[in-house]
Amino acid sequence: MRDQFDIVIIGSGAGGAPVAYVHARRKDRSVLVLEKGPLLRTQDEQDGGNLSDFKRDEMFNAGAERIINVPGMTNSGHPFFASHIEPDLNDEPHIFSDLAGNGPRVTIEGYTAQVVGGGTQLYGGVSLRFAETDFSLATFNATRTVPLKGDPTRDALRHVIDWPIAYKNFIPYYEKAERLVGINGTSSGQAKSQNFPFTTPDQYQVPRAPNPISLYAEAGMKACGFDTYRTPLAVITDHHAPSGRKAGDPLVGYVNRYGDPLGYKSSTWVSLLRPTIRKGHDLEVRPNCTVTHLVSNGRKVTEVHYRDESGRERIVRGTYVVVACSAIESVRLMMLSAEHDRTGFGKAIRFEESGSHLGRYFLTHAFGGAEVAIKRHRFDKSISLDSDFATDACAQPAFLDEHGLWAGGAIYNNTSDQCLPITLARTDGSTDLDTFWAGFSGDMAKRGDGIIDWLNKDFGTRLSVSFMANQVPRYDNRIELHPTLDKWGRKSAHIIKDWHPHDGAVMSTLAAVCEDILLAGVPGATRDDISEGSVYGNAVRVANHILGGMRFGETEAESVLDTDCRVWGFENLYVTDGAFMPTSGGGNPTLTIQANAFRVADLIP
């Protein structure tokens, strides 16, 4: 088995695959991708077979009950429900505590997916660019005189730094990602295009007709005076030449939390890795291989240690090593490597050193929204993708000034949510991924006629509008190691985080906007009909947007990575998942992670 490559990449999702794509296509360049999860195939790629390993099956989304059985956790004995490509929490727990000391508890929040393609196999595909101000929130706020809501001690912005790269220099990588990944949407109406116009034509494929229920959201956005656009989604609607995929009928509702058996969803496997391998480039993907630690000599990472599919210890070497296991797991890998060699790797990455930023400023998004049941109308929401219409109105400086917010975010409607019966029941009243079924199971009035009444009210009628906004970075929000050992005898990741009160202000403001959109867009709806809310107060929620922990910056004094996303202290170690972000951006992060990975790929010699 080969054990020497030009580049070894750990993780095959949004952060890893773009680097593999670029480098494997360079002349005489060898690339290895190590992936913890399996390689699951689409229908057209099985060797002589007809079927995919992904299914349109609600039991694949979150099937049988499992029981948390990790000693010392506050929720030991509680059930959890995970998809077939999320980890067994008893084998590899993510452990969560809040800043008030509540916990520790095991959570399914904060995992993406363990499979070739990573989180891009399960995500809804929302592929928004960040706004220009998202890259420079320190500078943007430095000159403002508007007091921030929910920030009486004026400490909200204490840990905010600008991204150390210019937005205009990043735009070509957004375009590259949009072209190569395969995204449908529209650019007209995106406020981000005011200063940085999209190419003509833009890189998007033409979206399919929206689900009719989404037209209420569009009408509401317009009635509020907002420009709208079709939400960019990583699903192909037409033949996609870069990846050699043919279009079909992607509108089936089995989108969010489902792998796509037909490969229309643009996971990094079908869009970047598979076509590179098919073209004969020197790219090897080793699935079912878990990297345990990195070994260094001076400023160079010399060995990548991993467990193969049988659990045997293996070593592979790369001239360059790229870590992209999703932010929590990437931070954990660095810390495990540091514990393995405190004076070498540990010192080089400043593990547990005073003033070190390793693991700090862990981020997700401030998110939430509003929801209404549309009376006297019903729609087949199972003929849909994840979202149809979006607006950038709440990321504009005038809006932020008016409401006293440090940063804004995107708003879009959800289309496929709760379109299938089991999902409707298991998410009924649940507050996060850890509380699936808790609402429905205990709502004893939902029986017989009670269920009919509930379905009459909610099935095919519910329209939700969500926001995804920047979270305030805090030094105390962090990833550490927890002594609980995983199935390989390695310490687990411990996520310690909470919201800043200003996050609460951001969320309540944007949730109110979502409510206004529904009020304006749905005829006859009153505020009493609309429920609005956010994740403020529920710190464990991360929406699988796992960001920060190794932010990039201009100096080692303020960051873990340099502007090229290379780890300070190492010559050949890069990080390309969401860990690099110093602020979380006003939209779903995947496209930005992909674009940044393309950028970093160009910077790796």
Partner 1 sequence: MVARRIDKEDQYVLNLCTKYLARINTDERHSAYGVDAATPRARISESWRFPVVDSHDGNEPDAYEWNDVTFVWHIADLSAPPQSVLLLSTCHRLHEPLPLVRIGDTAYFALTVKLPKATRYRYLFIVDGKLTADPINPQTQTFANGETWSSFFTSAYNQPISFERWEFAILDRLTRHILPFNSTEAQNYLGREGGGGNVGHLYRLDISVGVANFIDKVVAREERHRLYAYKTCLEMLDTILRRRETRAPPEAMEESLFVELYDDMASGASALFEHGWDRSRYSDPADFLKLLRRHAMTGAFAHPKYGGNPGGMAWAYLSEHFTGDNGKTAFDWQRAQEKPLGTSVEYRG
In the range 277-296, which residues lie near partner 1 by CB under 8 A?
Answer: 287-288
Three state DSSP letters for 515-558: HHHHHHHCCCCCHHHCEEEECCCCCCCCCCCCECCCCECCCCCC
Shortest gap between Cβ of 457 and partner 1 (angstroms)?
A: 11
Among 144, 299, 378, 457, binds partner 1 (CB under 8 A): 378
List the alpha helices (DSSP H) in 383-448: 397-403, 421-426, 438-442
Cβ proximity to partner 1: between 481 and 604 the closer is 481
In whole angstroms, what is the distance from residue 254 CA to residue 324 CA?
A: 27
**Total interface residues for partner 1 by CB under 8 A:** 76
> Would you tell me how many other CB atoms lie within 10 Å of the CB of residue 66?
14
Per CB under 8 A, the list member of 3, 51, 238, 342 interacting with partner 1 is 51
- Write the single-letter amino acid at 177: A
Nearer to partner 1 among residue 252 and residue 493 (C-beta) = 252
Query: Is 37 an interacting residue with respect to partner 1 (CB under 8 A)?
Result: yes
Coil, helix or strand for 225? coil
Three-state DSSP state, 139: helix
Contact 605, 584 (CB under 8 A): no
Q: Write down the least CB distance from residue 477 to partner 1, Å.
A: 28
Is position 315 an interface residue for partner 1 (rule: CB under 8 A)? no
Minimum distance between the CB of residue 11 and partner 1, rounded to whole angstroms? 16
Tell which one of 72, 152, 244, 248 touches partner 1 (CB under 8 A).
248
Among 25, 56, 317, 491, interactor with partner 1 by CB under 8 A: 56
- Contact between 47 and partner 1 by CB under 8 A: the answer reads yes
Closest distance of CB 254 from partner 1, Å: 6
Among 111, 226, 254, 269, binds partner 1 (CB under 8 A): 254
Contact 170, 599 (CB under 8 A): yes
Shortest distance, position 53 Cβ to partner 1, whole Å? 7
Binding to partner 1, residues 382-421 (CB under 8 A): 382-383, 420-421
> Is 521 a binder of partner 1 (CB under 8 A)?
no
- Peptide bond before 38: cis, by omega within 30 degrees of 0? no
**Helix, strand, coil % in the chain, rounded to nearest 5:** 25, 20, 55
C-alpha distance from residue 417 to each of 39, 257, 351, 405 (Å): 27, 11, 42, 29
Q: Which of 170, 306, 379, 580 binds partner 1 (CB under 8 A)?
A: 379
Rounded CA-CA distance 50/36 in Å is 26
List Cβ neighbours of 321 (8 Å cut-off, separation of 6 or more).
7, 8, 9, 10, 294, 301, 304, 572, 573, 574
Site for partner 1, residues 479 to 498, rule: CB under 8 A: 485-489
Q: How far is CA 581 from CA 367, 496, 561, 568, 593, in A?
A: 17, 18, 10, 15, 9
Residue (13 or 408) nearer to partner 1, CB: 13
CB of 228 vs partner 1, minimal distance in Å:
21
The contact pattern for partner 1, residues 433-462, with x = CB under 8 A and - = no contact, is: ----x--xxx-x-xxxx-xx--x---xx--
CB atoms within 10 A of CB 489: 7
Q: Which is nearer to partner 1, 186 or 413 (CB)?
A: 413
73/322 with CB nearer partner 1: 73
Q: Is 111 an interacting residue with respect to partner 1 (CB under 8 A)?
A: no
Distances, alpha carbon 495 to alpha carbons 10, 327, 546, in Å? 21, 11, 11
Report the distance separating Cα 207 and Cα 214, nearest Å: 13
Q: Which of 114, 136, 237, 477 binds partner 1 (CB under 8 A)?
A: 114
Nearest distance from residue 225's CB to partner 1, in Å?
Answer: 27
Q: Which positions from 166 through 195 interact with partner 1, judged by CB under 8 A?
A: none
